[in-house]
Amino acid sequence: MKTALLTHADCLGHVTPDGHPERVARLEHILHALEALDLDRRTAPMVADDDLLRVHPEDYIRDIRAAQPAEGFTQIDGDTFMSPGSVDAAYRGAGAVVRAVDLVLSGEVPNAFCAIRPPGHHAETDKAMGFCLFGNAALGAKHALDHHGLARVAVVDFDVHHGNGTQDLLWDEKRALVITSQQMPLWPGSGRPDETGAYDTVLNIPLPPASGGAEMRAAYEAQAFPRLRAFKPELIIISAGFDAHQDDPLANLNWSTRDFAWITAELCKIADEVCEGRIVSTLEGGYDLNALAEATHAHVEELMKAAR
């Protein structure tokens, strides 16, 4: 069986102002880098309202739809913009993750990567922020729990920024383990170890600026992997941000492309042990175009090795 790749041309229709790091070229570079790989290519559907409503209130969804401009840009917060194609892009992004969960849980594919934008892990219950509109990873987790009836799902977020949105959306969901590592201090400022969720199902792993792959590996081996193995999730969702890369302009961690391959391989190993290898990975950040393309390629290659 092959790793699935879910994407949609609508995700290129979300345009940001000149100079904005979260830009169309990110996804273009990734799709180009993945072109030669032997993947099960799927078109991402629009997310259903039922799935959005599991994590965002109706008012919020209506406000986001209403904020989309007919031309030009709307600024939602300090660094989050919408263009005429943004709603469709966000619906495809969330729809990709939900569809990937369906494909993996039905056994049609062993694992999947969603090449989508805008990203999702900063979107809180009723607040768009940090380039994100909908909480893609969290709504994928809720879909797996509520629609498919799973008892336990884990979200692992290795983006360099704190997955504050995922943490917020799953804060009081005892069936979801949220593990998020982040450079600290760094925007958005949250993600301290004492933020542990209503049921102690949130694990925050701060990493110091200028630290690299060795520190990351030690932290994951000491904290994240034992928690994952003990929780025994039936599905692992990865918030795959590649902005901890040493070449990334938005942060100061020094992970190499090999580190992204390593963490992916380790997560695949754990998924093999606890949940028949079931992984859904979704794109979050990563802002140096070449590093992003290379690290994403390495990440997807590890998913493919595990799928064999």
Of the candidates 131, 113, 109, 111, the one whose C-alpha atom is nearest the C-alpha of residue 121 is 131
For Zn ion (CB under 5 A), the number of binding residues is: 5
Q: How far is the CB of 121 from Zn ion (least distance, A)?
A: 8
Between CA 173 and CA 175 the distance in angstroms is: 5
Residue type, 281: S
Q: Pinpoint the alpha helices (H) of the chain.
A: 24-34, 49-53, 58-67, 86-105, 136-142, 164-169, 213-219, 225-231, 257-275, 289-307
Question: To the nearest whole angstrom, how small is the minimum distance from the Cβ of residue 151 to Zn ion?
Answer: 30
Residue 159 binds to Zn ion (criterion: CB under 5 A): yes
The span from the CA of 81 to the CA of 59, in Å, is 19
Q: Give the shortest CB-147-to-Zn ion separation in angstroms.
A: 28
By C-alpha distance, which of 265, 271, 2 is closest to 152? 271
CA distance 30 to 150: 31
Active-site residue among 122, 143, 161, 299? 122
Known catalytic membership, residue 122? yes
By beta-carbon proximity to Zn ion, the closer residue of 7 and 182 is: 182
84/212 with CB nearer Zn ion:
212
Q: Determine the interface stretch with Zn ion among 71-79, 150-158, 160-168, 218-226 (rule: CB under 5 A).
A: 160-168
Q: Does 118 bind Zn ion (CB under 5 A)?
A: no
Task: Give the span between the Cα atoms of 245 and 259, in whole angstroms.
Answer: 9
Helix 289-307 to helix 257-275 angle, to the nearest 10 degrees?
30
User: By C-beta, is 161 or 175 nearer to Zn ion?
Assistant: 161
Picking from 256, 251, 254, 277, the residue whose alpha carbon sits closest to that of residue 265 is 277
Looking at the Cβ atoms of 1 and 210, the one nearer to Zn ion is 210
Give the shortest CB-7-to-Zn ion separation in angstroms.
19
Range 260-299, binding Zn ion (CB under 5 A): 285
CA 75 to chain CA centroid, nearest Å: 23
C-alpha pair distances (Å), 116 with each of 38, 70, 155, 250, 258: 19, 22, 17, 19, 23
Q: How far is the CB of 202 from Zn ion (least distance, A)?
A: 18
Closer residue to Zn ion in complex, CB, 135/241: 241
**Minimum distance of Zn ion from residue 277's CB (angstroms):** 26
Window 205-264: residues binding Zn ion (CB under 5 A): 241, 243
Which of 118, 277 has the CB closer to Zn ion? Answer: 118
User: Which residues make up the interface to Zn ion (CB under 5 A)?
Assistant: 159, 161, 241, 243, 285
Catalytic residue positions?
122
